[in-house]
Structure 1
Amino acid sequence: MTGRTRLTTTETVRDERSWLFTVRDQYDELDEVILVPCEEERTDGGATAESDDSAADADPDDPGVEAWINRCTHEAQRLDRGFGAAMRDGQIICPKHGSMFDACSGYCDNGDAADTTLPSVEVAVEDGAVYLADDGYEFVHEGSIEGGGEEAGDGDESQDDDDDMPSSTSHIGF
């Protein structure tokens, strides 16, 4: 691994219930990632290999944290639109159709995104700090693509398509 970037603390992720940041992938494209608390022990084998590896190295005194690409697998709806992901009972809720993804495994067993799993991003937790540990991504800034620094307007209008926030067809009320 070439190096890690410190992102935030496990306490911040736990208190805010999600933490959004922007990365650049190997194709020089910007993407968003959400950190969410994972309260479960990782012994069920339901998580991705990347998640299992980072969980095995984690300090047992630190709460678990997982990182997922900030897109529903059904229609690429942003799960966190810049003000926190909707969470309930350890699940991330898609604001458009109400599909619920397990915060620890990324797996969805209901709604329009059923039988899919969110793409994971490898993170490491050490002494209460969360680090980006995935060589496939480079940290750009905290917050959404639109919300940070000079990267915010680099001409890719497709990133703004869901900012109009379509009316929800979810069966779940908040």
Structure 2
Amino acid sequence: MRELTTAETVREKGSWLFTVRDQYGELDEVILVPCDNESGSASGQASTDGGVEAWINRCTHEAQRFDTGRGVPMREGRIICPKHGSMFDSCSGYCDNGEAADTTLPSVDISVRNDGRIVLTDDELTFVGEGGIDDNESDGDDGPASTSHIGF
């Protein structure tokens, strides 16, 4: 289990982006979003876990990223695909409109502790870092990627 952030931070910022590595070594991005639906969450249980859900950061239609580094576009409790406008319920991940209609976002297991701290509990994922994949990829060299000897 890895502590991520707090439910308060997710609500204040509107979303929270982080990078994970799956069991095959592939990187992926996850978004935490507020969920204020009292009737249920992606797991089918009442949203008693701080009102936050975790989803893979891409639309089911064309793998368009929701959060491109500026936060998740949302309106009235729905995640909006910036490419085609499909809207996904932030609590269930289900889309009932647009190009992604009748699909559900892949969920990521999290837990919100009594003090509001959010923990990654998904056994198939390992936390890599806060932010997107581009923020977390490193070849161990902090120098420029170019091999050119020309300076400007």
Q: TM-score, normalised by structure 1?
A: 0.75
CA pair 152-144 structure 1, distance change in 2 beyond 3 A? farther
Q: Contact between 1:68 and 1:120, CA under 8 Å: does it hold in 2?
A: yes
Structure 2 distance, partners of 1:23, 1:111, is: 28
Deviations 1:73-122 (CA, angstroms, capped at 9, x unpaired): 00000010011010100000000000000000000000000000000000
* SS of corresponding position for 2:135: coil
Q: Which has the larger radius of gyration?
A: 2
Q: Contact between 1:106 and 1:119, CA under 8 Å: does it hold in 2?
A: yes
Residue 6 (1) aligns with residue 3 (2)? yes
1:87-106 mapped onto 2 (5 Å cutoff): 87-106=74-93
| Runs of 4+, deviation exceeding 3 Å | 52-56
> What residue in structure 2 maps to residue 68 of structure 1?
55
Which runs of 5 or more structure 2 residues have no equivalent in the other structure?
142-152
RMSD between aligned alpha carbons?
Answer: 2.0
Aligned pair partner of 2:118 in 120, 130, 137: 130
Structure 1 distance, partners of 2:139, 2:33, is: 24
Structure 2 distance, partners of 1:109, 1:68, is: 17
Q: Contact between 1:20 and 1:143, CA under 8 Å: does it hold in 2?
A: yes
How many positions carry a matched residue from both structures?
Answer: 140
Q: Contact between 1:54 and 1:122, CA under 8 Å: does it hold in 2?
A: no
Identity of aligned residues (%): 64
Q: Contact between 2:6 and 2:116, CA under 8 Å: does it hold in 1?
A: yes
Residue 16 (1) aligns with residue 13 (2)? yes
Which runs of 5 or more structure 1 residues have no equivalent in the other structure?
154-174
